[in-house]
Structure 1
C-alpha cells in the first residue's frame, strides 16, 4: 500500500505541476505580466501551501519548533536540492532584476527571520505583522515594477487560455500538488518506518524534502517546457513566501516560541539557510556571468547533502 501511495503521489505531482504551469503561462499572457512575477506570486503561493498548512497546524498544536523547522528546512531544500537539480537539467540565463530585486528581498526576509528569533527564540505577533506587511509591499512592487528576470526561450509557444480555464488549472494544479506531496510523504514515512529507519532521518529527509516536492515538480516541469522564468521565480518566490507569508500568518495567529528541543534551528539550521541563500548570488556570476549551469547545480547539491549528513551525524 505504501508503494501505491508513493506512485500515486508522484503521478499527482507531475499532473499538478503541469496544470499549474498552464495556469501560470495563461495568466501571464492575459494580464501581460512577466512570467517571473507569476512564478514568484501565484505559483509560489500554490507550492507554499503545504508549508502554510503544516506550520499553522503545528503552531496551534503547540509544536512551534516544527512550524519554524518546516520553513527553514524547506528553504534549504528549495535552493540546495530543487534549484540544484533544476540547473543540472538545464542552464538558466539570469537577468539583472534577479540581483537587483529578487535575491535581495529573499536575503532581507531571511535576515529578518534570523533577527526575530535569534535573541528571544520567539516570533511575536507584531513581528508576524511586520513579515506579512513586507510581503504585501513586495507583491505590490513586483506587480508594478518588476521586469523579466530570466530569458524566455520559446515565447511564441505560449498558449493563451480563457479566464475560467486559468482559474480551473490553478485550483486543480495546486490541489494535486498538495495531495501528491501528502501521499508521497505518507507512503515514504510508513515505508521508512517499516524498514527500521529512525525518526531523525525521516524528519530531515522525507518531511523537509516532502514539503519542497511541489516546488521540485513545478520547477522541473517548467524547465522541461522551457518556462525557466517560472522555474527560478517559483523557487525564490517560494522562499520569500515561506518566511513572510507562512511564518508571518502563523505568528499573527499565535506567537511562535521555540522550545528547548528546537534550539538547533537557531544555533545551526538558520545559518545553513542564510549561507545557501547567499551562495546563489556568487553562483549566478561564477564561473559565467548571469548564468546558472550544471556546475552550480553540483555545488548546491553537495551543500545540501553535507547539511543532511551533519544533521544526521
Structure 2
C-alpha cells in the first residue's frame, strides 16, 4: 500500500505542478513579463510548489530530516539530473550575464543555508524570516535588471493560455492536487523507509527529491524542445533559489526545523554535493565549447547524479 501511496502522490504532484505552471505562465503573460523573468520567477516558483507543500507537511509531522532532505536532494537533482537530461536532448547556451547575477545568487543561497544549519543543527523562525527576506531582495533586484533590459513577450502562441478563467481553474486544481499528493507522498515515503530500514533523510534526498523535481524536469525539457532556452535554464536556477529562500524559509517560519545529530551528519555530506554541483556550472562553461552545456557535459551531470544516489544509499 505504501508503494501505491507513493506512486499516486507523485502523479498528483506532477499534475498539480503542471496546472500551477500553466496558471503562473498565463498570469505572467497577462502582466507582460519577459521570458527570462517568467523562467526565473513565475515558472520557478510554480515548479517549486511540490517541494514547498511536501516540506511544510513533513515539518508539521515532525519529519524535519525528510523536509530538509527533500530540498537539498531536489537542488542536486535540478542541476545533475534535470539540467543533464535536458542538455542531452538539446544543448544549451549560457549567456555571459548569467554568471554576473543568477549563478552568484544561487551560490549565495546555498552557502547561507550551509551556514545556518551549522549554527545549531536547526533552522529557527528568525532564520526562516531571513531567507524569505533574502528572496524578496533577489526578486527586487531581478525586476530592476529586467526593466533596464526589457524583452518583448510574444503572446500569439500562448494567447489561449492567458484567459482568466483558465488561470483560476488551473490554480485551484493545481493547489488541490499538490495538497493531496504531498500527503500521500510523505505517508508512502515514511512507510517505505520504515519497511526497508532506511532513514527518512535518505528517502527525502532521493525518492522524494526526484518526485518533487519532476515538474522542473518536464518544464525544462518542454522549454528546451521548443527552443525556449531562457525559460529552461532560468527555471532550474530560479527553482534552486526558491527552494532554499521560499520553501525552507516559509517552512521554517511556520514550523522551525530541529535536526538530530545522525540526520545532520547525513545532510551535511549532501550539502557539499549541492554546493558542488551548483558551482560546477562555472568551470564547465569554460571547458570545450565555451558557454554551452553540451550533450557530453549533460552526460557527465547524469552520471554524477547516479554516483550521488549510489553513495546516498551506500551510507546505510
Instruction: Give the shorter-chain TM-score range.
Output: 0.7 to 0.9
Offset at 1:197?
Answer: 6.1
Q: TM-score normalized by structure 1? A: 0.82
Once residues 271 and 185 of structure 2 are traced to their aligned partners in structure 1, the CA distance between those partners, rounded to angstroms, is 26
How much is the aligned-residue C-alpha RMSD, in angstroms? 3.5
- 2:39 is the counterpart of 1:39: yes
> How many angstroms does 1:65 deviate by?
1.8
- Taking the aligned partners of 2:220 and 2:266, their CA distance within structure 1 comes to 27
Would the alpha carbon gap of residues 308 and 61 (structure 1) be closer, same or farther in structure 2, given more than 3 Å must change?
same
Change (3 A) 1:226 1:164: farther
User: Quick check: 2:123–2:258 contact (8 Å CA) kept in 1?
Assistant: yes
Displacement of 1:244: 0.6
The equivalences for 1:172-211 within 5 A come to: 172=173, 199=198, 204-211=205-212
Is structure 2 residue 157 aligned with structure 1 residue 158? yes
Which residue is equivalent to 1:270? 271
Provide, for residues 264-292 of structure 1, a one-character-per-residue CA deviation record: whole Å limited to 9, x for no partner. Answer: 24530100000011012222332222221
Query: For residues 250 and 21 of structure 1, do their structure 2 counterparts lie closer, same or farther at Cα, with a shift above 3 Å needed?
Result: closer
1:103 corresponds in structure 2 to 103
Which secondary structure state, in structure 1, belongs to the residue aligned with residue 288 of structure 2? coil
1:185–1:260: structure 2 CA closer, same or farther, 3 Å change rule?
closer
- Contact 2:206/2:309 (<8 A) preserved: yes
Map 1:33-72 onto structure 2 (within 5 A): 33-72=33-72
2:308 equivalent in structure 1: 307
Q: Does 1:282 align with 2:288?
A: no
Residue 181 of structure 1 contacts residue 213 of structure 1 at CA under 8 Å; is this kept in 2? Answer: no
User: Which residue pairs with 1:243 in the alignment?
Assistant: 244
Paired position in structure 2 for 1:216: 217
Show the counterpart of 1:122.
Answer: 122
> Distance between the aligned counterparts of 1:180 and 1:171, measured in 2?
14
Return 5+ residue gaps in structure 2 as ranges: none
- Paired position in structure 2 for 1:79: 79
- Is the deviation greater in 265-274 or in 74-83? 265-274
Which residue does the alignment assign to 2:139? 139
Using the size of structure 2 for normalisation, the TM-score is 0.81
Q: Secondary structure at the match of 1:212?
A: helix
